[in-house]
Amino acid sequence: MAFTFQINPDVQFNHESDLLEKAEANRPKLHKTLVKPTKVMINREDTTETSYKAIQVTQTVKELGESSFGKDDQITLDFGNHYVGHFAVSIQSVGSPMDAPLFLRIRFAEVLDELTRSAEAYNGWLSKSWMQEEFIHLDKLPARLELPRRYSCRYVEIKVIDTSRKWRVQFSDPTFVAQSSAEMAHLPATQIKDAQLNKIYQISVRTLHECMQEVFEDGPKRDRRLWLGDLHLAALSDYATFDQVTIVKRCLYLFGGLTSQDGRVPATVFTNGDPIPDDTFLFDYSIFFVSTLFDYYQHTKDKVMLHDLYRIAKQQIDLGLQYVDQEGCLKLPSKWPVFVDWSDEFDKTTCAQAILIYGLRQFIQLAEAVGEQDILSYQKQLHLLVHFSTQQLFDSKLGLFTSGAQKEVNLASQVWMVLAGVLARPASKALMVQAVKSLFPIRGIVTPYMYHFIVAALFKADHLDTATGLLKTYWGKMVTLGADTFWEAFDPNDLNYSPYGNALLDSYCHAWSCTPAFLITKYCL
**Residue 275 contacts residue 286 (beta carbons within 8 Å):** no
Note whether 3 binds a second copy by CB under 8 A: yes
Min dist. Cβ of residue 395 to a second copy (A): 40
Instruction: Decide if 414 contacts 400 (C-beta within 8 A).
Output: yes
Binding flags for a second copy, 116-135, as an x/- string (CB under 8 A): ---------xxxxxxx--xx
161/187 with CB nearer a second copy: 161
Q: Is 115 in the site for a second copy (CB under 8 A)?
A: no
> Between residue 279 and residue 318, which ones bind a second copy under the rule CB under 8 A?
279
Complex with a second copy: residue 269 or 382, whichever CB lies closer: 269
Contacts (CB under 8 A) with a second copy, residues 233-272: 270, 272
Q: Which is nearer to a second copy, 120 or 374 (CB)?
A: 120
Q: Contact at 8 Å (CB) between 2 and 507?
A: yes
Contact map string, positions 77 to 96, toward a second copy, x by CB under 8 A: ------------------xx
Contact 257, 269 (CB under 8 A): no
- Asked if 375 is part of the footprint of a second copy (rule: CB under 8 A), the reply reads no
- Give min distance, CB of 137 to a second copy, in A: 6
Which residues lie across from 178 on neighbouring strands?
33, 85
Q: What angle do CA 516, 83, 343 make, to 5 degrees?
A: 45
Q: Give yes or no for a contact between 507 and 110, defined as CB atoms under 8 angstroms apart.
A: yes
48 binds a second copy (CB under 8 A): no
With H, G, I as helix, E, B as strand and everything else as coil, classify residue 499.
coil
Tally the C-alpha atoms within 13 A of residue 108's C-alpha that lie toward its C-beta. Answer: 28
How far apart are CB 258 and a second copy at their closest, in Å?
11
Amino acid at the residue 105: R
The amino acid present at 427, given as its one-letter code, is A
Nearest to a second copy of 126, 360 (CB atom): 126
Residue 166 has a CB neighbour count (10 Å cut-off) of 12
CA dihedral 417, 245, 243, 469 (to 10 degrees): 20
Report how far residue 509's alpha carbon sits from residue 200's, in angstroms, rounded to the nearest whole number: 14
Q: Residue 140: CA atoms inside 13 Å, Cβ hemisphere, count?
A: 2
Q: How far is CA 404 from CA 356, 464, 516, 523, in A?
A: 16, 30, 31, 33
Residue 500 CA, chain-centre distance (Å), reads: 15
Helix, strand, or coil (residue 9): coil
Single out the segment in contact with a second copy by CB under 8 A; choices: 277-285, 315-323, 379-387, 472-480: 277-285
Does 8 participate in binding a second copy (rule CB under 8 A)? yes
State the nearest-atom distance from the C-beta of 96 to a second copy, in Å: 5
Rounded least distance, CB 152 to a second copy, Å:
13
162 is a site residue for a second copy (CB under 8 A): yes
Closer CB to a second copy, 95 or 492, in the complex:
95
* Rg of the chain, C-alpha, whole Å: 25
Query: For residues 99 and 325, which CB has a smaller minimum distance to a second copy in the complex?
Result: 99
| Residue 146 sits in the site that holds a second copy (CB under 8 A) | no
Q: Least Å distance between CB 127 and a second copy?
A: 4
Burial of 54 (0-12, 13-18, 19+ CB in 10 A): exposed
Question: What letter represents residue 505's amino acid?
Answer: L
Q: DSSP assignment, residue 440?
A: P
Among 19, 102, 233, 324, binds a second copy (CB under 8 A): 102
Q: Closest distance between a second copy and the C-beta of residue 161, in Å? A: 6
Beta carbon nearer to a second copy, 2 or 442: 2
Q: According to CB under 8 A, which one of 26, 163, 428, 521 is a site residue for a second copy?
A: 163
Report the nearest approach of a second copy to the CB of residue 150 (Å): 9
Q: Please work out the total of residues on this chain that contact a second copy, with binding judged by CB under 8 A.
A: 44
The residues that bridge with 133 in the sheet, in sequence order, are 107
User: Which residues would be at the binding site for a second copy (CB under 8 A)?
Assistant: 3, 5, 7-9, 71, 95-103, 125-131, 134-135, 137, 139-140, 149, 161-166, 222-223, 225, 270, 272-273, 276-279
